[in-house]
Amino acid sequence: MLKETFGLKKNAVLCVIKNINTGKILILRRTKEPHFGKCIPIGGKLKPCETPNQAVVRECEEETGLKLKDCKMRGMMIETSPIDFNWTNFIYYAEVKDENLKECKEGELIWIEKEELNEINMPDSDKFLYKYVFESDAFFVLDVEYDENIKIQSLTELIEGKTYEG
């Protein structure tokens, strides 16, 4: 019997962090599921009664030690699958001057050159996330549908109506 919560969307924040002194991007190489071994932006789940803005500041400080002062919401990514991998992600962008990070219990924090984003092991959907964060000033909404192996079946940017097939 399936749990009553199976398939319900979990709310999370993801923050693309750029160091304005070096131009480097902060990534987290996960040592936990989901996305074990993959590189993702900093983020995490919203707590009850917490706004996405509060969550992104809290998650970034908890995971990196960085105290973000000016985060900008850039978009949303809605992830749907037939397994229990269903998320509504609020996507943020922030710039920092500090590169000093604390140790993270979620994985390894790494500063990389923006050009290296094409070379790292990341979830396929994050390739689109970075594309929209860096190539558009507009707000975006990515709607991603996966199969049971978390392989993209379709991805649509809902505001512009662009669809990318798996």
pLDDT category at 83 given cuts 50, 70, 90 is: very high
Higher pLDDT, 7 or 82: 82
Region 56-70: what's the mean pLDDT?
95
Residue 80, pLDDT > 90, answer yes
Judge whether residue 48 has pLDDT over 70. yes
Half-sphere exposure of 20 (CA within 13 A, CB side): 6
76 and 141 in contact (C-beta within 8 Å)? yes
pLDDT at 4: 73
Q: Per-residue pLDDT tens for 130-140?
A: 999 998 778 89
Q: Report pLDDT for 3.
A: 66
Q: What is the pLDDT of residue 164?
A: 83
Is-contact 15 9, C-beta < 8 A?
no
Query: How far, in Å, are 14, 35, 48, 137 from residue 113 at the CA level?
Result: 19, 21, 35, 21
pTM: 0.91
Neighbour-count burial of 49, counting CB atoms closer than 10 A to its CB (0-12 exposed, 13-18 middle, 19+ buried): exposed
> Of the ranges 26-30, 135-139, 159-163, which one carries the lowest mean pLDDT score?
135-139
Can you give the pLDDT at residue 166? 60
Please say if the pLDDT value at position 1 is more than 60.
no
